[in-house]
Structure 1
Amino acid sequence: MIWDQLQLKPNISAAVRRAQLKSVRDVLYLSGPDLQRRTALSCSEVQELLTAAAAACRRHRPTTALQLHHSEHQRSKSSLRLSAACPVLDLLLRGGLPVGAITELSGESGAGKTQLGLQLCLSVQYPPEHGGLSSGALYICTEDQFPIRRLQQLIAGQSVLRSEVPSSLNSCLCFSDHIYIEHTADLESLKVCLSRRAPLLLGQGLVRLIVVDSVASLFRCEFQADDWLERNKQLLTLSSMLHYLSQEFDASVLCINQVTDVFSQSANSLGPSSSSVCPALGLAWANQVMVRLMMLRLQETVSRGDESSTLRRLEVVFAPHLARDGRHVAVWREGVRGVVLPE
């Protein structure tokens, strides 16, 4: 470390060299009194040295509360949303999924979570005036093979699902060319994907949506019940990566989650009060997401022409900007659509 780069007073730089402190780490490893003894500097000069050394370790300048307030104010005025490609769902979500944050979508097997994830991979490719972000999607599979046939079916049905979009725009978008698929069989490969491959795609503007399907499967496979401490550490590491990617590159992150049974309704504070299941991974993970959605599979069936679909309900469990509410949906050939039931 060249101490002159820290813009220290000449006597402080000379004292540091005499004490043979060669790096910022050497300085920060010592307490204030130890530095005074090693350098023979005054208390105020030692404090100045520690402040300069700490500042040299920061990648970015610290953000003040006033700057955060102004940035949140600007974000609230021009906050981007990724449309769910359904007016009913966009009304529920106030425009769609927030950009720069993590959204969780949980539900039982067959509830329609992957269907909505695929639909968002297509929606993100539309220009902002049609609810998209003019970019692609990174879809990370952790348990099943990527449903390529269903994706092709959804692509073919875009003109039906997005009838408000000009047909010329639908025909010129090459949807499948802008969905990047990764398969991660263990937690380590997932972290490699998020730390190396995802920043490259995001940095080049190729993607602005990351879908992890699913976030719980790897943790359930790799950790036993008594490994909760290490599991929580890994959860925090994963969430830190996702937060960084969403905020640094102004992207939307969707984490699809599994569910676990609830035996006492009084203990179910993490999921809808009407459900007998709640999202997996517990409170440690719940504190890392900004929006928690749950897809419930109901008993009723709805029909439309020659098609029929099991009725679902998408519910908002918690979000700072959304009411705790829900809407009925069905999965049709062209995608997920809201259903208005007769009263």
Structure 2
Amino acid sequence: MLTLFVSGAGWIEHEKDIDDMVVLREGICPGLNKDLIEALRNVDIRTVEELVSANLEELAQKCSVSYKALIAVRRVLLAQHAAFPVSCADMYEELLSSTAILSTGSHGLDKLLDSGLYTGEITELTGGPGSGKTQVCFSTAVHISCQLKQSVIYIDTNGGMSANRLLQMLQAKASTMEEQMAALQRIQVFRVFDVFSLLTCLQNIRIGGVQMECVGCSVKALILDSVSAVLSNMLGGKQNEGMSLMMQVAGELKTISKDLNVAVLVTNHATRDGSGQLKAGLGQSWSHVPRTRVLLQQVERPGSSSSLRVATLTKSSRQSCQLEEEFDLRCWGAPEDMKAGSSGKRKLEGGSPGVG
């Protein structure tokens, strides 16, 4: 199927599959007779795609055929073989209306993320051991499940997931056993310990092979803790297969976020560059995968709490990089942390109904 969109400059091709191109032949369109087909072939126009993408004024002169006839043929071909055209402005409005922002539960982190996690995008948390990446993932999953009433897919690759810990966190947020169990059902956990199992899991999610137990709750978040745990040992040197697998993982995550309208949160380890500065792992190729990247570090100063963290925005398309916010892991979801808002997009607030 050929998909075209219209803009002020004319027809713009959006998607195509070269194996599915329709060859021009008699019978597929009124007015497309044998003589016209032969004339088009003489100037190397053999498929529907080539005809609808051509400059018809020039084509009419080259083929010595009627410009109006070509216009009529193209109009019919577009109706039969292309998606309904929409303007770029309409596409943008549709994007705004379909995008949701999920609060993480932390006012500081939400502020850094410009209100929270965006559906259709990949957000990355990076940091060294003990920086709080897994704790942030736990807290975010609990907040989305318990407060926002949305389902979460949690992929654990390093064995850090604990059902008891999740239950303890939910008990602090939900007063009744029924509410706690309902929130637990909205978090579906997958444990994978190698990149091949991870790819299989992601592919099943993408094709709809994963069904959430809690009926009526849409999956709005996918949390992967951590992506580097299954990829780091396969990269470096001449291990070309590792790079290929990493790009496959990236492709699956991007497709899930876009096609399923899901907010994807992944964690990555941190390394130090030549000057001793912390930087995200997995190299330059992976750096293009997340839309937003946040570096987590433990606050180290006299008298500071061991649960205090500083988050630094190192990559963003919406805010200035190097912005910093401090937050306390023990105060996640406190009332003073629930102030984040948004404009133009749907903000999922605590207690709001599920969004499909």
Same fold (TM over 0.5): yes
- Tell me the SS of whatever aligns to 2:256: helix
CA gap of 1:47–1:184, structure 2 versus 1, over 3 A, is same
- Tell me the SS of whatever aligns to 1:200: coil
Aligned partners of 2:88, 2:298: CA distance in 1, in Å?
Answer: 40
2:264 matches 1:263: no
**Counterpart residue identity of residue 232, structure 1:** M
Aligned partners of 1:67, 1:218: CA distance in 2, in Å?
Answer: 42
* Residue pairs, 1:40-59, within 5 angstroms: 42-44=41-43, 46-48=45-47, 51=50
Deviates more, 1:102-111 or 1:137-146: 137-146
Identity %: 21
Aligned to 2:351: none
Residue 221 of structure 1 and its aligned partner are, at CA, apart by 2.3
Aligned partners of 2:300, 2:83: CA distance in 1, in Å?
Answer: 52
Unaligned runs of 5+ in 1: 14-35, 53-59, 160-166, 266-275
2:229 matches 1:231: no
Aligned partners of 1:169, 1:183: CA distance in 2, in Å?
Answer: 26
Among residues 204, 209, 229, which one is paired with 1:200 in the alignment? Answer: 209
Aligned to 2:282: 281
Aligned partners of 2:88, 2:171: CA distance in 1, in Å?
Answer: 44
Q: Is the 8 A contact 2:299 2:306 kept in 1?
A: no
Aligned partners of 2:83, 2:336: CA distance in 1, in Å?
Answer: 47
Structure with the largest fraction of helix: 1
- Tell me the SS of whatever aligns to 1:155: helix
RMSD (Å), alpha carbons: 3.9
- Tell me the SS of whatever aligns to 1:122: helix
Among residues 130, 135, 152, which one is paired with 1:110 in the alignment? Answer: 130
Structure of higher RCO (CA pairs closer than 8 Å, 6+ residues apart): 2
| Deviation per residue, 1:220-246 (Å, 9 max, x gap) | 22344332x433322221111111111
**Counterpart residue identity of residue 105, structure 2:** A
CA gap of 1:11–1:86, structure 2 versus 1, over 3 A, is closer
Q: Is the 8 A contact 1:300 1:311 kept in 2?
A: no
Query: How many residues are matched?
Result: 279
| Deviation per residue, 1:260-307 (Å, 9 max, x gap) | 122226xxxxxxxxxx2111011111111100011111213767xxxx
2:298 matches 1:293: no
- Tell me the SS of whatever aligns to 1:91: helix
Among residues 117, 126, 149, which one is paired with 1:97 in the alignment? Answer: 117
CA gap of 1:46–1:284, structure 2 versus 1, over 3 A, is same
**Counterpart residue identity of residue 323, structure 1:** S
- Provide TM-score, normalisation by structure 2: 0.66
Aligned to 2:58: none
Aligned partners of 2:150, 2:318: CA distance in 1, in Å?
Answer: 25
- Provide TM-score, normalisation by structure 1: 0.68
Unaligned runs of 5+ in 2: 1-20, 30-36, 52-80, 338-356
Aligned to 1:162: none
Residue 6 of structure 1 and its aligned partner are, at CA, apart by 5.0
